[in-house]
Amino acid sequence: MEEKELNKIVNEIKKDFFLYRNGIITDHLKKIYPAGTLIYGLNVPQLKELSKKYPKDLDLSLILWKEKKIREARLLSIFLMPSENLQAEIAKDLIRDIESVEQAEFLAFKVLRNIPKAHDIFTEIKGEKNLSPLSSYCLEMFQKNLIDEVGL
């Protein structure tokens, strides 16, 4: 997809976040997210609904992932991420870049478990030193999925 088209979609997504905003959920989540994080308060069914509206595209999902200060952008990026062609290095970078429990769980359950050679990726990154506590939590969830899926 071309950059101009990607930017147009990202702007549409941000407008949708504004339309779906929920002050009650936002107030609750502000207590658990770092100061400065923009939170619209979308819930999982709303994110699923939005994910049907937009293409599953790696470039689009990575642009949204880079929106570190917008909770919903990072979560929606996971819903739009095509795991079947996600490269191992990108997957490991995503794990290293986790910033919330929500992101860790969504990434582990929606993307990582569906990556080709998921076990190899898990094995490679689990031995890394200096992973953040949230990245380590993501790995725990990833491992749980591998155990559930293949009986590791």
Q: What is the pLDDT along the chain (152 residues), one digit of tens a residue?
A: 899 999 999 999 999 999 999 999 999 898 888 888 899 999 999 999 999 999 999 999 999 999 999 999 999 999 999 998 899 999 999 999 999 999 999 999 999 988 988 988 999 998 898 999 999 999 999 998 787 655 44
Q: How far is CA 111 from CA 18, 21, 83, 91, in A?
A: 26, 25, 5, 9
Q: How far is residue 148's CA from residue 142's CA, in Å, rounded to a whole number?
A: 10
* CA–CA separation, 14 and 71 (whole Å): 11
Residue of 103, 116, 125, 118 lying closest to 148 (CA atoms) = 118
Rounded to two decimals, what is the model's pTM?
0.90
